[in-house]
Structure 1
Amino acid sequence: MRIRPVGAHALLLDCTTTTTTTDDDVPEVELVEAWRAELWRRREQGDLVTVEIVPAASTVLLDGLPDPTATAEQLTRWAGDVVAATHRPAAADAVARTTDRASTEVVVPVCFDGPDLPTVAEHWNVDVPAVLRRLTDTRFRVAFCGFAPGFPYLTGLPAELALPRLATPRPRVPAGSVALAGPYAGIYPSASPGGWQLVGSTELVLFDVHADPPARLGPGTSVRMVAT
């Protein structure tokens, strides 16, 4: 984990995996989630003063720090505990449950009628019903949001089930489309171009600028898909 200054009041925790790996290395996505959960916990109990904690694919941004130098020293002291927690799944889950959002499971009703279901089944070397069983049996977690306001990147599928994006993105993907790409599942909060494999759709509203918070599925949220 590397700590990089960003402007005068922010730090970026870079969890990018180095080219040299060992059996003890922690996958980036797990390390980012462990840091996110731990930093939320530290802020809630008053050990950390920051305005924003923003996870991404391999980084966590802390913005609005009164003293970035002192915070960097704190992060260095906490690093060993965070890495150790990722090697103990029970401990990592306990850390994640310290926030209200992470302790709440959001059930997403999905109509599994996506045009790319046969392609996904072919990549996974199974039939379409097996794809649906895998998706409904998986406990997903929102790793981060990106691409569009409220677009959740959901982790939970095994690495070997990672899927390629479409060679040519669709010019318009309907709002509520449930899709897969790389190691992630995702749900389009609004109509937009997109190159992910479409497996279904939901009527759940994912982003409402008037809601608090606006994003229905924020980082740390547990998500379960149910077939409709």
Structure 2
Amino acid sequence: MKVLPFGDDAVLVELDDLAQVRALDAAVRAARGEGRFAEVVDQVPAARTLLLRGVGAVDHAALATAVRALPAGPAAPVAERAAPVVELEVTYDGPDLDEVADLTGLSADEVVARHTAATYTVAFGGFMPGFAYLVGLDPLLRVPRRPSPRERVLAGSVAIADEFSAVYPAATPGGWRLIGRCERPLWDVDHEPPALLAPGTRVRFVEAG
């Protein structure tokens, strides 16, 4: 673990993998719930880092010491079970579905069955507003990103890449493998919060009838 100053008002914690990020993120949230880490007003997990931000200048050394004193271990499963579950209806007709089937040695129907069988958890957000990185993908569905990204991926495209699944909240270039489409909005500036999928939220994909 490395804890680095990040401007005057934050520290950036660098970790070895996503599992460590999720564990530390859960530990900090639990500590804040107990009244500790009063100087922290926002925490932003990513694939290998956790940003802890305060209001105004923070004592970097003291915050680093407090972070290192937290118990190491996996994210609490009870907290995940208590998290809300969002069901997203998907039409599995993505342009990469057959290619994913070829890469995995499965049929297209088996790809869909495995994708809908899992319960996912939002590990972190990034890339663009409302884009949630979902963990929990069946290991057999882990495929690499496309060799070259598409210039335009339509909003609502359901995708997989490496260990993650996601839904594109808006049209953008992208290199993930597209296996379906979802009509439910993931980002709405008129809604509070605007992102449908916040870190910790559980997600189930349901095949459209």
Q: Equivalent residue for 1:75?
A: 67
- Indicate if the aligned counterparts of 1:33 and 1:220 stay in contact, CA closer than 8 A: no
Q: Equivalent residue for 2:41?
A: 51
1:11-54 deviation line (CA, Å, top 9, x unaligned): 111112xxxxxxxxxxx121111111221222222111212100
1:61-93 deviation line (CA, Å, top 9, x unaligned): 001164332221111111xx232xx2xxxx721
More strand by share: 2
Q: Does 1:112 align with 2:89?
A: no
Q: Secondary structure at the match of 1:171?
A: strand
1:211-222 matched pairs, under 5 angstroms: 211-222=191-202
Q: Secondary structure at the match of 1:142?
A: strand
Counterpart of 2:171 (choices 191, 196, 201) is 191
Distance 2:145 2:86 in 1: 26
Distance 2:190 2:62 in 1: 36
1:71-126 deviation line (CA, Å, top 9, x unaligned): 21111111xx232xx2xxxx7212445xxxx6101111111110111111111111
Q: Equivalent residue for 1:94?
A: 78
Distance 2:102 2:21 in 1: 31
Aligned residues, how many? 205
Q: Match of 1:176, as an amino acid?
A: G
Q: Secondary structure at the match of 2:148?
A: coil
Question: How has the CA–CA distance of structure 1 residues 70 and 5 changed in structure 2, closer, same or farther, with 3 Å as cutoff?
Answer: same
Q: Equivalent residue for 1:25?
A: none
Q: Secondary structure at the match of 2:52?
A: strand
Structure 2, unpaired ranges of 5+? none
Q: Match of 2:88, as an amino acid?
A: V
TM-score (norm 2): 0.92
Q: Equivalent residue for 1:147?
A: 127
Distance 2:119 2:205 in 1: 8
Q: Equivalent residue for 1:5?
A: 5
Distance 1:29 1:115 in 2: 29
Structure 1, unpaired ranges of 5+? 17-27
Q: Equivalent residue for 2:114?
A: 134
Counterpart of 1:156 (choices 136, 154, 157) is 136
Distance 1:168 1:199 in 2: 17
C-alpha RMSD over aligned residues: 1.6
Q: Which segment drifts farther, 108-117 or 37-46?
A: 37-46
Q: Which segment drifts farther, 43-52 or 184-193?
A: 43-52
Shift of 1:160: 5.5
- Indicate if the aligned counterparts of 1:34 and 1:95 stay in contact, CA closer than 8 A: no
More helix by share: 1
Distance 2:43 2:34 in 1: 15
Distance 2:116 2:128 in 1: 25
Distance 1:82 1:106 in 2: 29
Q: Secondary structure at the match of 1:82?
A: coil
Shift of 1:148: 0.9
TM-score (norm 1): 0.84
Distance 2:69 2:144 in 1: 39
